[in-house]
């Protein structure tokens, strides 16, 4: 099982990837987590990535690609993987194809999480965090008992700047520009399997299982 999950921020890829990787006994390779781990571990690659992140810049393709090459070449990747957050650009997709070719492997399916823009905005701007204890809520999907008040400690809930509408719209715009061209790229290679990313988590999970031929 070698698949990539593709879709906008807020599409729910991470949750599904984590659960399905466990179910299928394959690696869940989330680029964001891998970068944070490399930074924490202080590896050469982590230090390089941190330099870019500290300046508020995106980590360049070549750093991400080297990190993935190392990980995909490791012994435990032989059983398969779910890529979550990679590839994000055409350059990364081409590098991935070369990497897998060198390893004598191919990508089976690219699952595309289709979610409408209003729904993404609702999900991404609805997060509220407790000022006192850091507990997170969502105004519609996991609201506190009393609006604006933390259930755990009675603290005040607020919206982080990252979750504000302007920042969220900017993140979605970056996604559209960088990542949407990948839909055509994988459609042309007959690898793209769109699933609806809206509705109950279990229903979406079933659709993913079917799309990768792992229905049960
Ligand atoms: Zn609290």
Mean pLDDT, rounded, for 63-82:
92
By mean pLDDT, which of 21-25, 55-59, 196-200 is the weakest? 55-59
pTM (whole model) above 0.85: yes
pLDDT at 215 over 70: no
The whole-number pLDDT of residue 57 equals 75
pLDDT digits (tens, 9 = 90+) for 180-193: 999 999 999 999 99
Q: Which of 58, 38, 46 lies closest to 175, judged by CA?
A: 58
CA 113 vs CA 109, 148, 211: distances in Å: 13, 31, 11
Q: How far is the CA of 157 from the centre of ligand 1 (A)?
A: 8
Separation between Cα atoms, residue 57 and residue 184, nearest integer Å = 27
What rounded mean pLDDT belongs to the chain? 92
> What are the φ and ψ backbone dihedral angles of 140, each rounded to 5 degrees?
-110, -40
CA 23 vs CA 9, 16, 28, 51: distances in Å: 23, 10, 11, 36
Contact between 150 and 157 (Cβ < 8 Å): yes
Q: How far is the CA of 24 from the centre of ligand 1 (A)?
A: 36
Q: How far is the CA of 182 from the centre of ligand 1 (A)?
A: 41
3-state DSSP helix/strand/coil percent for the chain, to nearest 5?
50, 15, 35
Q: How far is the CA of 54 from the centre of ligand 1 (A)?
A: 29
Q: How far is the CA of 135 from the centre of ligand 1 (A)?
A: 5
pLDDT at 213 over 90: no
Mean pLDDT, rounded, for 126-155:
94
The whole-number pLDDT of residue 58 equals 79
Separation between Cα atoms, residue 182 and residue 169, nearest integer Å = 20
Mean pLDDT, rounded, for 38-52:
90
Catalytic sites, residue numbers: 13, 88, 127, 160, 171
Separation between Cα atoms, residue 100 and residue 107, nearest integer Å = 8
Q: How far is the CA of 43 from the centre of ligand 1 (A)?
A: 35
pLDDT at 216 over 80: no
């Amino acid at each position: 099982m070698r698949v990539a999950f593709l879709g906008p921020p807020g599409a729910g890829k991470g949750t599904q990837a984590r659960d399905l990787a466990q179910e299928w006994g394959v690696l869940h390779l989330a680029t964001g987590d891998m970068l944070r781990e490399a930074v924490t571990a202080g590896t050469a690659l982590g230090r390089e990535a941190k330099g870019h992140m500290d300046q508020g810049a995106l980590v360049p393709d070549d750093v991400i690609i080297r990190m993935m090459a190392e990980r995909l070449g490791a012994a435990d990747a032989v059983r398969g993987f779910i890529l979550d957050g990679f590839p994000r650009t055409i350059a990364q997709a081409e590098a991935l194809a070369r990497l897998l070719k060198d390893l004598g492997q191919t990508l089976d399916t690219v699952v595309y999480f289709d979610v409408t823009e209003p729904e993404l905005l609702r999900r991404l701007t609805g997060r509220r965090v407790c000022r006192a204890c850091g507990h997170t809520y969502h105004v519609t999907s996991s609201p506190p008992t009393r609006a604006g008040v933390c259930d755990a400690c009675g603290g005040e809930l607020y919206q982080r700047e990252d979750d504000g509408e302007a920042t969220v719209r900017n993140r979605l715009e970056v996604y559209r520009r960088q990542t949407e061209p990948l839909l055509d790229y994988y459609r042309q290679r007959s690898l793209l399997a769109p699933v609806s990313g809206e509705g109950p988590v279990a229903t979406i999970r079933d659709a993913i299982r079917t799309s990768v031929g792992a229905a049960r």
